[in-house]
Structure 1
Amino acid sequence: MKKSQLILVALGIVSIIVLFSLPKVVVDNDATAAKVEESGDQSGPSSDVISESHENELSSENRNQADRLIQNFLSAPTNEEKVAAAQTLAGIYKEEGLFDSAAYYWDQVALTSPDNLSFAEEAGKASYEAFSFALDKKKVEALADKTRKYLSKVLEKDPNRLDLKTKIAMTYVSSANPMEGITMLREVLEKDPQNEDGLFNMGILSMQSGQYKKAAERFEELIKYHPQNVQGQFYLAVSYFESNEKNKAKAQFESVKKITQDPMIISSVQSYLDKL
């Protein structure tokens, strides 16, 4: 199985780990200020953090093609040829789960045509995907900055892109100013109370801050409108479990087992059921 497939299979479990690495913020009450329990180092990210190469980590089936494309990218006589090589490289790195390298090449594409909003959106989305998987603090900060830089350009032209606004919001949640992200997510839900990303992320953040009853309410709303959201179904069960609503938790975990074949999620579900 390729690295990208392994990473995507494990996403539901990895996100739980990442969840508890965020600053702890009260997100779902009537207070106007957030309480941050962990501030951490607030120094700025290094400008070259996300330009690290993963050339040696590529599988043999893509290694030779990537080598040729890198040479084409570095020696391309025109911007069009440079963009074509970078786009293909980004696709190769994404396929193999090397998301920060994919983001690096989309960044290069966007830099060649700073007024091209399509390139900006792709660069922002690639940066956000890499941000979602990053664990190193400086890399997280650098990728968050890139996400905001590019997606904000698109959002300025089209304020109705709530999907982009939720991504920007989540980059703020892990920053020194988490309340800005919470406020943006609330704005998304005010405009679209059924917004899938908004409900999911507010549920996740409520879990992270220990507000499990509030998290359950968010996930109940989520699966009411988006029953196919497997992670939402799973986190609803976890929220019931943490709220000591054992009957609801057991029923919800059993429901999750019926809607997914993901071995990682099934294993986690069973570990919870064994505790009930």
Structure 2
Amino acid sequence: MNKPILLVVSFAALLTVGLYSLPKGVVQNPDKRLSNAATGGRTTTQTTASEKNTASSTEHNAPLTPAQNEKRSALLTAFLGAESAAKTKAAGPLIDFFRSVSRFDSAAYYAGQVATSEPTEVNLLRAGDLYFEAYGFAVDDKKSANLGQSTRAFYQKALDKNPNLLLAKANMAMTYVSTETPMQGIMLLREVLQQDPTNEVALFNLGLLSMRSNQYDRAIERFRQILAVNPDSRKARFYLGVSLVEKGEKAEAQKILAEVKATEKDPQILAAVKELEERLKN
């Protein structure tokens, strides 16, 4: 698979967060490094000294403005000064603020604080979701591993309370892919499909993993399963097209790529389609 296509078929980023949960336009390369072109020059910096004791370093698009710093300080003061019973309510605006300025791991940290003090299913699931979001944006391997571990810890506690949280299980599965036990992730995805054979996130992630291991027959099967249930899934259609090209099914690939061009607006996807079509001419 050519490098430009790999920049779009970003397996590390799709640790579902596949493309299903990452914000549109976020594309990572196979080394889990965010592409500057895809992120508008996203960089990694250290947090302020006051946050080093409570959250890890954060990725962001630009330094906080003076007004944003003032708001952060006010929200943090309100959270730290709140009585135990009021901390959950005080954490909401603080978490929303950190997400709004792309401090995803800080948002996850405070959601985790709430879930630890009040371990309800809702709070545990929220913490797992936010750690998973931060995991998808991590550019440092060690940090990524730590965020993945926290994701699994909170999701597992939520699943202990409610085993039917299939999205949580599918998300948790993808954090295993870059560990020493990737099969645990695949087994979790299969468990999801045992409970829900048409689960779109599980099918999508298994399709991506099949592509990663060059098992394009299996990838094609997974993406077709998604389209049979959800014909409007642009992502499944695109990756079906990529898989067909890689397998050498030229006629079917041309048909699928034409359908992608007719509905897709993302310039990165369209650029990848153009390259794939050029390959089909050879």
Find the counterpart in structure 1 of residue 74 from structure 2.
Answer: 68
Displacement, 1:270? 2.0
Letter in 2 for 1:112: S
The percent of aligned pairs where both chains have the same amino acid is 37
Aligned residues of 1:50 and 1:142 also touching (Cα < 8 A): no
| Corresponding position: 1:124 with 2:139 | no
Evaluate the alpha carbon distance shift between residue 238 and residue 60 of structure 1 in structure 2; reply closer, same or farther with a 3 A threshold.
farther
Q: 1:163 aligns with which of 145, 149, 167?
A: 167
Find the counterpart in structure 2 of residue 10 from structure 1.
Answer: 25
Structure 1 unaligned spans of 5+ = 1-6, 22-46
Q: What does 1:72-221 correspond to in 2, within 5 Å?
A: 72-74=78-80, 76-113=81-118, 115-221=119-225
1:106-151 Cα deviation digits (max 9, x unpaired): 11222232x3221111000001111122231111111111111111
CA distance, structure 1, for counterparts of residue 59 and residue 88 of structure 2: 19
Aligned residues of 2:59 and 2:102 also touching (Cα < 8 A): no
Cα RMSD (Å) of the superposition?
A: 2.5
SS in 1 for 2:163: coil
SS in 2 for 1:9: coil
Letter in 2 for 1:248: E
1:51-85 Cα deviation digits (max 9, x unpaired): 335797335664432221122223x1412443333
1:227-251 Cα deviation digits (max 9, x unpaired): 2322211111111111111222221
CA distance, structure 2, for counterparts of residue 250 and residue 258 of structure 1: 12
Letter in 2 for 1:57: P
Aligned residues of 1:50 and 1:139 also touching (Cα < 8 A): no
CA distance, structure 1, for counterparts of residue 68 and residue 143 of structure 2: 25
Displacement, 1:257? 1.7
Letter in 2 for 1:170: M
Letter in 1 for 2:101: E
Evaluate the alpha carbon distance shift between residue 225 and residue 111 of structure 1 in structure 2; reply closer, same or farther with a 3 A threshold.
same
Structure 2 unaligned spans of 5+ = 1-21, 33-51
- Of the structure 1 ranges 174-183 and 64-73, higher mean CA displacement relative to structure 2 is found in 64-73
Letter in 1 for 2:152: R
CA distance, structure 2, for counterparts of residue 53 and residue 72 of structure 1: 22
| Corresponding position: 1:58 with 2:73 | no
Q: TM-score, normalised by structure 2?
A: 0.76
Aligned residues of 1:163 and 1:197 also touching (Cα < 8 A): yes
SS in 1 for 2:277: helix
CA distance, structure 2, for counterparts of residue 231 and residue 61 of structure 1: 38
Find the counterpart in structure 1 of residue 45 from structure 2.
Answer: none
Letter in 2 for 1:174: S
| Corresponding position: 1:271 with 2:265 | no
Evaluate the alpha carbon distance shift between residue 251 and residue 50 of structure 1 in structure 2; reply closer, same or farther with a 3 A threshold.
farther
Aligned residues of 2:54 and 2:109 also touching (Cα < 8 A): no
Find the counterpart in structure 2 of residue 224 from structure 1.
Answer: 228
Find the counterpart in structure 2 of residue 38 from structure 1.
Answer: none
- Spell out structure 1 runs of 4+ moving beyond 3 A: 47-50, 53-56, 58-63
Evaluate the alpha carbon distance shift between residue 50 and residue 214 of structure 1 in structure 2; reply closer, same or farther with a 3 A threshold.
farther
- How many equivalent pairs are there? 239
Evaluate the alpha carbon distance shift between residue 98 and residue 249 of structure 1 in structure 2; reply closer, same or farther with a 3 A threshold.
farther
